[in-house]
Amino acid sequence: MPAEDRPASPAAAEPGGAAGRPGAWPAENLLRHETSPYLLQHAGNPVHWRPWGDAAFAEARARGVPVLLSVGYAACHWCHVMAHESFEDPATAAVMNRLYVNIKLDREERPDLDQIYQHALALLGQQGGWPLTMFLTPGGEPFWGGTYFPPAPRWGRPGFAQVLENIAAVYAGEPDKIAQNVDALTEALAELGVSKPGSGIGPAELDAGARTLLRGVDLRHGGLQGAPKFPQPSLFAFLWQQARRTGQDAYAAAVTLTLERMSQGGIYDHLGGGYARYSTDEVWLVPHFEKMLYDNAQLLELLASAWAATRSPLYAQRAAETVAWLAREMMGPANAAGDAAFAAALDADSEGEEGRFYVWTEAGIDALLGADAARFKAAYDATALGNWEGHVILNRSHAAAWAGEAEEAFLAACRARLLAARERRVRPQRDDKILADWNGLMIAALARAGATFARPDWIALARRAFAFIAAELDAGAEPAAAQDAARGAIPARRLYHAWAAGRARHAGLLEDHAGMARAAIVLHEVTGEGAYLVQAQGWVAAAEALFGDGDGSFFMAAADARDVLVRAKSAHDNAAPSGNGLMAEALARLFHLTGDARYRDKAEALIRAFAGEGPRAAIVMPRLCIGADLLERARTCVIVGTPEDPVRAALLAAAFAAPEPVLVVQPVAPGAALPAGHPAAGKGLVGGRAAAYLCQQGVCGAPITEPAALAAALAG
């Protein structure tokens, strides 16, 4: 069950421009003018869909009817179900068209709006999810809602047509009741714009959070207890970092157990690579088959971090397979410069069935593998009865994490044959939107994993994606940028949020600027190129100008956003990290890289703004806690040497392969001056040789010129 061409500025990036001028209300579906793959999925519905925008609400005011807002995304299975059952049905569409102005919204294009209306649904006492079905006034205020509605009463839910008629009758006949709901919800929604300040997040809060999190871990199957099971990479990245800080083996064991069970389970695509969005059961067997860019980005980074400590061949293989899937299936179109970024998601469904593309039968495997089939089937849980609705979901949950080089090579050859056959099937639809925030997560993960696993091709992939976002989603400098440049400051540069069908749209959000700033910082650490650091500082400056609040925190939507009921702000992580959590890490890393105390002050203010969560801080905001820990404990490894020096390259490799999650790496060219506030300012080559300096809390150690010695120092 369901739990335009570029405008002059992002503020003018108002969707719905094709919906017609006020007073002209075409009796047709207007989604054909959109670029979102999800919205285009609905462009042929008999529903007179409108995109979100002023024109749709003006139509509702003119007609005196409420708005039906339907929110979903392209890879959402239950969104497809409701579409087939209701939105493609002419009789249901006729009711919708008669009683409502109907707006269809892609939650991935406008997560700021989705957050508001999901919260409104929670205030109504209902569980959120997608599809989200909300009923709004012509002013955009919510007064009732739900998620999936069946076409006829089922599972204790009323039929959708019944809901439509009843809500419209209440709206027309009981305006006082509607006004009461609107007032109550609007007042409660205002709390979304209020942070919970506290004195800070220190060791006591981190300890309490790690202990609480460990109690919630399924110590048999990994992940959090119960079903369905989501990867929760932010939580486990926090727990991994605390394992290193405290020396608690139980924390590390919970992370490695989770990674192993996920990587051997059916949630992982053993043929094509990549992890599905979640498992419907507690043993990671049956996935919800959609694959999301943000999940795989975070899991790739966690795999690299765990491999650095364990040298597990399983983690190395899953990381390599996931990047291969990314390069093969998720690259968007190249721009004129030849750069390309990553698509948002792959659908769960194909040919009208969830998982059809991914599952097998025993007979199908036998036909393809012949004499090798029995050995392969024993490894991958393939039987005549199947393990899910008569089909086989390939998994190795019952097997050891690693079967040895020879056996793994045999299994890889078998998988390649099955993958070649699978490629001839009807593929799930790909959501081709390029999202700045999700690409930021993947760019950072690719760059860091590439450095950790010594894969320069992965770093090159990250650089291409970064160049695409910087070129195609750059909305230009903020008005004060000229003055900033004149006084030597980094100009603030603004981003768009999404790119599709050759067009950048929708004003960038906090997550876009924070995620891409973090990605630029990681690329700077990996390559030593100063341009990446300047880019990061520009996006941080834009975030401060557009999203900053007086208490140090950041709103999700910009100050010039005109179409949100409330400017929400939160540090709570969901499936993807919060913008405030990512910004805390970006500010902390900028402080350690530059020695500029202003970045430290900004990071501390941001952390204090949400520290009032108390003991539950690490559970609800693990990314902010990761940033707080990084700010206080980071070790900065400054490596001085020329890019062509093999010793410098070996020192960098040793640094990135070290099992230290709070390490900041800073390559520096000989003679390049570090900022005066940096603890390694003035450090240089040693006897003409490249050298590394480990610095912590404002003090640097003696130079290290041997890669093995640096590895030993970082392991201690």
- Count CB-CB contacts under 10 A for residue 288: 21
Q: How many other C-beta atoms can be found within 10 angstroms of the C-beta atom of residue 200?
A: 12
3-state secondary structure 222-272: CCECCCCECCCHHHHHHHHHHHHHHCCHHHHHHHHHHHHHHHHCCCECCCC
Show the domains of the chain with their CATH numbers. Answer: 10-193 (3.40.30.10), 203-347+431-633 (1.50.10.10), 358-424 (no CATH), 636-715 (3.40.30)
Q: What is the pLDDT of residue 480?
A: 61
**Torsional class of 99: left (φ above 0), alpha (ψ -120 to 50), beta (otherwise):** alpha
| Whole-number pLDDT of residue 2 | 32
Contact 221, 284 (CB under 8 A): yes
**Letter for the amino acid at 33?**
H
Residue in the block written with tokens 């957050």 = 115
For residue 37, the surrounding DSSP H or E stretch is helix 37-41
Q: CA angle, 312 as apex, 311 and 315 as ends, to 5°?
A: 115
For residue 228, say if its preceding peptide bond is cis, omega within 30 degrees of 0.
Answer: yes
Those residues of the chain that have pLDDT short of 70 are 1-24, 479-489
> CB-based burial of residue 676 (10 Å sphere; 0-12 exposed, 13-18 middle, 19+ buried)?
exposed
CA–CA separation, 588 and 628 (whole Å): 8
What would the two tokens of residue 695 be?
């610095």
pLDDT at 21: 46
The pLDDT assigned to 16 comes to: 35
Q: What is the pLDDT of residue 488?
A: 55
**How many Cα neighbours within 13 Å face the side chain of 166?**
8
Neighbours of 262 (CB within 10 A): 26
Burial class (CB in 10 A: 0-12, 13-18, 19+), 463: buried
| Cβ burial 597-629 (10 Å sphere, 16+ → b, else e) | eebbebbbbbbbbbbebeeebbbbbbbbbbbbb
CA dist., res. 143 & res. 183, Å (int): 9
Q: Are 557 and 565 in contact (CB under 8 A)?
A: no
Tokens linked to 531:
């341009």
Q: What is the pLDDT at residue 492?
A: 84
Q: Is 9 exposed, middle or buried (0-12, 13-18, 19+ CB in 10 A)?
A: middle
Per-residue model confidence as pLDDT tens digits over 53-101? 999 999 999 999 999 999 999 999 899 999 999 999 999 999 999 999 9
Q: How far apart are CA 226 and CA 217, in angstroms?
A: 9
C-alpha torsion angle, residues 587, 588, 591, 592 (rounded to 10) = -150
Closest CA to 560 of 109, 112, 59: 112
Cis bond upstream, residue 131 (ω within 30)? yes
Kindly give the interhelix angle for 293-310 and 313-329, rounded to the nearest 10 degrees: 150
Taking phi over 0 as left and psi of -120 to 50 as alpha, with beta for the rest, 670 belongs to: beta
3-class DSSP assignment, residue 533 = helix
CB atoms within 10 A of CB 64: 9
Would residue 275 be called left, alpha or beta, if left means φ above 0 and alpha means ψ between -120 and 50 degrees? beta
Measure the CA–CA gap between 530 and 667, rounded to whole angstroms: 10
Q: Which of 435, 430, 519, 578 is nearest to 107 (CA)?
A: 435
Distance between CA 425 and CA 40 in Å, rounded? 23
424: left (phi over 0), alpha (psi -120 to 50) or beta: alpha
Q: What is d(CA 54, CA 562) in angstroms, rounded to the nearest whole number? A: 10
C-alpha to C-alpha distance for 586 and 503, rounded to whole angstroms: 28
The reported pLDDT for the residue numbered 677 is 83
Helix ranges, 473-576 (H)? 481-486, 510-527, 530-547
Q: In the prediction, which pLDDT does 675 show?
A: 84
pLDDT at 24: 65
- Edge-to-edge strand list for the sheet holding 699-700: 663-668, 635-640, 691-696, 699-700
Token pair recorded at residue 443:
């760019």
